[in-house]
């Protein structure tokens, strides 16, 4: 659905995106992660033909965005953080205006989408009277009007209250399930990405530092919770035996890829160290992300 090939974008001397290669298959909910300024919005801008790439190729729905923007975006809907509307016009008028840039949309279709996003009854009020949550729903409505096959969501939950975030998350899942849309989601909320996405890419300073499934993030390092009498000594012994690669929080150790918990227990008990508890720890996306970023900082 989306293919980025050797994509690079420079703003003056600053490189915002560097050699980005990405492929979003149809039917996926794909997460784009990274801190502020990592290049996520620039990458999305290039996918939508708003930002011109310095080098490389962007293909959306099979068409080159730079050369055939119109064809590439025909079946694409997009939502940005803090969606902007013509506040002095009604919600319905905003939808009419925005959808007409794709194709004139029948009134019936607009009403259907208004109903789908739950704005019925408020569609003729001026947008300036809308709450943040209602604006988010209106943003979703405008993205759905062209009957898209691909939705690009750039920080869609930004600025929403917890209830709004929850609602947005459910809506995204509903869109994926009921309409079968491919979704590219850029977000700061790691738990949101964890709950929604099947595949992620992590950007750091314009470069992609990880790409894979959520399962990959969990298997990248095998963390084990270890309860022993003297954690420091146990770690020293395990390091010497080359069974672990790291430790954290005074209770977790990262196993070497070929090491097992049985070997750990055997070694520690053999050294006369009682093991009270040992269990594989569930790796969270947050932990994975922070580890990855620390590795980048340390230049690993």
Partner 1 sequence: MFYHHLRNELWKLFGKKRTYIGFGAFLLAQNAMLLTFRFTHWQRDMERMLAGNGYMAQEFVSALTVALVMLIPQVLLLMPLYAALVGGDLVAKEAEDGTLRMILSRPISRFRLLAVKWLAGLIFSAVLVSVLGATALGFARIWFPWRGMFVFAPGMVFNVLPATEGLKLYLCSHLFMTLNASVILSLGFMFSCFNMKPAAATILALSFLFLNLVMEGIPFFERYQEYLLPYHFRIWLYIYSHPTPWERLTQSLCVLLAFNLTTFLVGMAAFQARDIKS
Contact footprint for partner 1 (CB under 8 A): 11, 41-42, 45, 48-52, 69-74, 76-78, 80-86, 88-89, 93, 96-98, 100-104, 142, 146, 152
Element spanning 154, H or E: strand 150-154
Which residue is listed with tokens 């925005």? 98
The two three-digit tokens of residue 292, written as one number: 């990855």
Is the CB of 150 or the CB of 243 nearer to partner 1?
A: 150
Closest CA to 249 of 299, 284, 204: 284
What does the DSSP assignment read for 13-82? TEEEEEEEEEEE-TT-EEEEE--TTSSHHHHHHHHTTSS--SEEEEEETTEETTT-HHHHTTTEEEE-SS
- Alpha carbons 92 and 138: distance in angstroms, whole number: 9
Is the CB of 186 or the CB of 291 nearer to partner 1?
A: 186
Is the CB of 78 or the CB of 292 nearer to partner 1?
A: 78
The answer to whether the beta carbons of residues 99 and 114 sit under 8 Å apart is: no
The answer to whether the beta carbons of residues 247 and 235 sit under 8 Å apart is: yes
C-alpha 113, offset from chain centre = 25
Is the CB of 67 or the CB of 279 nearer to partner 1?
A: 67
The minimum distance between CB 268 and partner 1, in angstroms, equals: 54
List strands edge to edge, sheet with 29-33: 76-79, 150-154, 182-186, 29-33, 199-204, 207-213
Is the CB of 100 or the CB of 233 nearer to partner 1?
A: 100
List strands edge to edge, sheet with 63-64: 14-24, 2-11, 55-60, 63-64
Is the CB of 11 or the CB of 274 nearer to partner 1?
A: 11
Is the CB of 126 or the CB of 199 nearer to partner 1?
A: 126
The two three-digit tokens of residue 17, written as one number: 């995106």
């Amino acid at each position: 659905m989306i293919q980025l090939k050797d994509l690079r974008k420079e703003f003056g001397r600053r490189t915002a995106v560097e050699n980005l290669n990405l492929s979003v298959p149809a039917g996926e909910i794909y997460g784009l992660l990274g801190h502020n300024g990592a290049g996520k919005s620039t990458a999305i801008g290039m996918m939508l033909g708003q930002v011109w790439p310095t080098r490389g190729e962007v293909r959306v729905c099979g068409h080159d965005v730079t050369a055939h923007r119109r064809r590439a975006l025909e079946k694409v809907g997009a939502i940005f953080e803090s969606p902007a509307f013509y506040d002095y016009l009604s919600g319905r008028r905003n939808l009419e205006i925005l959808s007409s840039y794709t194709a004139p949309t029948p009134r019936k279709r607009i009403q259907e989408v208004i109903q789908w996003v739950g704005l019925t009854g408020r569609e003729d009020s001026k947008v300036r009277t809308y709450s943040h949550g209602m604006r988010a729903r209106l943003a979703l409505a405008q993205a759905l009007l062209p009957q898209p096959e691909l939705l690009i969501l750039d920080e869609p939950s930004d600025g929403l209250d917890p209830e709004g975030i929850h609602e947005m998350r459910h809506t995204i899942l509903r869109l994926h399930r009921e309409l079968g849309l491919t979704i590219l989601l850029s977000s700061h909320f790691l738990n949101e990405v964890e709950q929604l996405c099947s595949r992620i890419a992590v950007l750091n300073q314009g470069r992609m530092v990880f790409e894979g499934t959520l399962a990959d993030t969990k298997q990248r390092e095998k963390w084990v919770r270890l309860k022993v009498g003297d954690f420091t000594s146990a770690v020293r012994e395990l390091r010497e035996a080359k069974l672990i690669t790291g430790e954290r929080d005074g209770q977790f150790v990262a196993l070497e890829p070929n090491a097992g918990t049985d070997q750990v227990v055997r070694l520690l008990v053999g050294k006369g160290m009682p093991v009270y508890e040992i269990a594989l720890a569930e790796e969270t996306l947050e932990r994975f992300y922070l580890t990855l970023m620390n590795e980048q900082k340390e230049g690993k």
